[in-house]
Structure 1
Amino acid sequence: MLESKNNVTYKIRTGTVEDAEAILDIENDVISEGEYFIAESDELEQTPIQKQRDWVQSNLENERETLIVAEMNGVVVGWIVFRSNNKKRLLHTGSITMLIRKNYRGLGIGTMLLEALLGWAEENPYIEKVSLGVFSTNHRAISLYKKMGFLEEGRKINEFKFNDNEYMDDILMYKLVK
């Protein structure tokens, strides 16, 4: 589906195995920023591209999961993934991860990706609850999630330690889609 924001047209579509390299590249870029991801750059396992392709393929084959990308001029600039749980009592739930290249943030791409994912979840006969965790300092993301109807479910206090005196909470959020 084509979406227009700020006089720029983005293509929002289901990801493919061919997007695996771009997805991995965006993940590595966001991690290297050091602000929005739990892992630090020096903790990254250098994921071979085939392993990343297998991850994408596995996601696409699972009817309880999806991967959606935002593309501009043929280049993937962001993505969102919904990963389901494999325990019977949790099959109706799953969590999201969304990553957008730094130069493309604040342009409405996150909103478009989240709208597409929530639309998929509402149509999916299995999914009833979409969850996420977000750093308490990621105010832009928190604002987006609240705008899209997510509610704070809880908070893990001082969950992340950045140095001797700097901690950050993990805010747990959810949205019921059924």
Structure 2
Amino acid sequence: MTKRSIQVSLRKGNINDAEAVLELQKEVLSEGEFMISVIEEYEQTSEQLRNWIEKILENNKEKLIVAECRGQIVGMIVFRSKSTKRLSHTGSFTAMVKKEYRNQGIGKLLIKELLNWAENNTLIEKVSLGVLSTNQRAIELYKSMGFVEEGRKIKEVKFSDDLYVDDILMYKFV
């Protein structure tokens, strides 16, 4: 359940979700507001996304969780681990929620589910993320869930000739 009492269920993502995940990613990227990549750069195909999901499913240090409402994927969170031995205890996540479903607690549900998985995964010790300094709602959500700022990449993202945004790095030990 969410703030506005819409029925949302969370589940492990699978290969059959590739089309819906692809559409979700395109929709969020097309907004251009909170992501580093822009839609013009996004050339992922359904087949490539299926392969990407398959690799996540095969790795016990990675996770894809989707949020569904009325049989439609309305959000997702993906945790990717580091491949090098000395960083293998860490990883970072990216979360996306369709615009019309935001501010209803879906992002928080996804993060809680991911953190629960990470806390029960003996291979994961640190969960990280990057968030644009202009995304105040997300920053407040992450802080409320125990994430702490560990650094900032100043003027990391350039939206136009005179508009730069910092990339805030946050973490939580699990």
TM over 0.5: yes
Is 2:138 the counterpart of 1:145?
no
Question: The residue matched to 2:33 in structure 1 has which SS?
Answer: coil
In structure 2, C-alpha distance between the alignment counterparts of 1:16 and 1:41, rounded to whole Å? 24
In structure 2, C-alpha distance between the alignment counterparts of 1:24 and 1:9, rounded to whole Å? 22
Is 2:164 the counterpart of 1:171?
no
Question: The residue matched to 1:149 in structure 2 has which SS?
Answer: coil
1:116 to 113, 117, 124: 113
1:70 to 52, 55, 67: 67
Give 1:5 shift.
3.8
What whole-Å deviation, never above 9, does each CA across 1:24-63 have from its counterpart, x for those lacking one?
A: 1111111110101111122222x22111011111101100
Q: In the alignment, which residue of structure 2 is the partner of 1:154?
A: 151
Give 1:4 shift.
4.6
Q: In the alignment, which residue of structure 1 is the partner of 2:102?
A: 105
Q: TM-score, normalised by structure 2?
A: 0.98
2:2–2:106 contact (8 Å) kept in structure 1: no
Question: The residue matched to 1:106 in structure 2 has which SS?
Answer: coil
Is 2:131 the counterpart of 1:134?
yes
In structure 1, the gaps of 5 or more residues are: none
Q: In the alignment, which residue of structure 1 is the partner of 2:18?
A: 20
Q: In the alignment, which residue of structure 2 is the partner of 1:9?
A: 7
Give 1:164 shift.
1.3
Report how many residues are paired. Answer: 174
What whole-Å deviation, never above 9, does each CA across 1:130-163 have from its counterpart, x for those lacking one?
A: 0000000001110110011000000000001111
Q: In the alignment, which residue of structure 2 is the partner of 1:80?
A: 77
In structure 1, C-alpha distance between the alignment counterparts of 2:155 and 2:5, rounded to whole Å? 41
In structure 2, the gaps of 5 or more residues are: none
RMSD of Structure 2 on Structure 1 (CA): 0.9
Over the matched positions of the two proteins, sequence identity in percent amounts to: 55
2:87 to 90, 94, 109: 90
